[in-house]
Amino acid sequence: VARGARGARRMGCPAACWVALLLCTGGSLSKPTLRKERVVHPDPQLSDQLHEDNQSFQYDHEAFLGKEEAKTFDQLTPEESQEKLGKIVDRIDDNKDGYVTTEELKNWIKRVQKRYIYENVAKVWRDYDLNNDNKISWEEYKQATYGYYLENPEEFQDATDQNSFKKMLPRDERRFKSADLDGDSAATREEFTAFLHPEEFEHMKDIVVLETLEDIDKNEDGFVDQDEYIADMFAHEEGGPEPDWVLTEREQFSDFRDINKDGKMDKEEIRHWILPQDYDHAQAEARHLVYESDVDKDQKLTKEEILQNWNMFVGSQATNYGEDLTKNHDEL
């Protein structure tokens, strides 16, 4: 539970889930004894399938639709698949100019791959939108999350509990303000998603870095030294030996984390550590789909070009069984 709580705090879950964990454990959140991962990889592989267009377009289907939705298309007739694809194209064309650019396609793929995040927000939305106005104000969130604590402070007499709640409320308010792009103190669904999952949004990356620094920087000097770095990952038992992986992490800190070799990590070095510039799978797939479908080579796609190459974007009953298209056609 302790590891879950700390992981929840770092990976985007604000006080709400931490509070629940604290209450159900009686406030006893011990350090993890296993290695904890703080590095965010926002763009993992888009599909478990091999990307081999000469064999199958399954990788492209799962990248473009998501794994579950791709399965749904595999049950449709070719005509139904193309009709649904046409409607998707209209949604991808953000500026409604009749073309799908590589950037629009990349953004669509990223949204599809993060669908689980939006589904998570949808599940908890009613818990916070207390007046049902389809926005969540800071006051609503504070009441839903901290209301019991604020109304019953006598039940939180433990100094550790008090300190935790007092730190977390302003921290959540700071994160909420960063997510609230229009500054109206009320979060839309997109803004609330950024609040709950800041690691997924570019404009929230500074908050992720700052919160990580605050979590690890125990002497509050504004930096993370090697001992703080290791202490965040490993609860060292007095007199006990350090596992080999801890010794390796000490070397990692000296050789790679501490870029300027001053013995500590500043915010920029923390950013390099937890938010590495990984290969952008969505960008690569968007470029691939445009290249393969761009008949007139103007580096953007019309709906007609996409529908002409529809089976690269979506599947159907006709492609559901891989290479044996003839047999499948006969069954249809």
Give dist(CA 142, CA 128) in Å, integer.
Answer: 9
pLDDT value, residue 24: 44
59 touches 52 (CB < 8 A)? yes
Helix or strand or coil: residue 244?
Answer: helix
141 touches 128 (CB < 8 A)? yes
pLDDT value, residue 232: 92
pLDDT value, residue 152: 84
pLDDT value, residue 9: 38
Helix or strand or coil: residue 227?
Answer: helix
pLDDT value, residue 180: 98
180 touches 174 (CB < 8 A)? no
pLDDT value, residue 278: 73
Give dist(CA 151, CA 167) in Å, integer.
Answer: 17
Q: Where are the domains of the chain?
A: 74-223+266-331
Report pTM.
Answer: 0.69
> pLDDT per position in the chain (332 positions), as tens?
333 333 443 344 566 554 554 444 444 433 333 456 677 765 556 766 666 666 679 999 999 999 889 999 999 999 999 999 999 999 999 999 999 999 999 999 998 988 888 889 999 999 999 999 999 999 999 999 999 888 887 777 676 666 688 889 999 999 999 999 999 999 999 999 999 999 889 899 999 999 999 999 999 999 999 999 999 988 777 667 888 999 999 999 999 999 999 999 999 999 999 988 877 889 999 999 999 999 999 999 999 999 999 999 999 887 554 434 333 334 33
User: For residue 90, what are the CA distances in angstroms to 86, 301, 303?
Assistant: 7, 12, 8
Give dist(CA 66, CA 238) in Å, integer.
Answer: 48
pLDDT value, residue 11: 43
Angle, to 10 degrees, between the axis of helix 189-196 and the axis of helix 115-128?
100
Q: What is the pLDDT of residues 263-320, one digit of tens each?
A: 999 999 999 999 888 778 899 999 999 999 999 999 999 999 999 999 999 998 875 5
Give dist(CA 36, CA 249) in Å, integer.
Answer: 12
Give dist(CA 324, CA 299) in Å, integer.
Answer: 33
* Burial (0-12, 13-18, 19+ Cβ within 10 Å), 108: buried
Amino acid making up residue 245: W
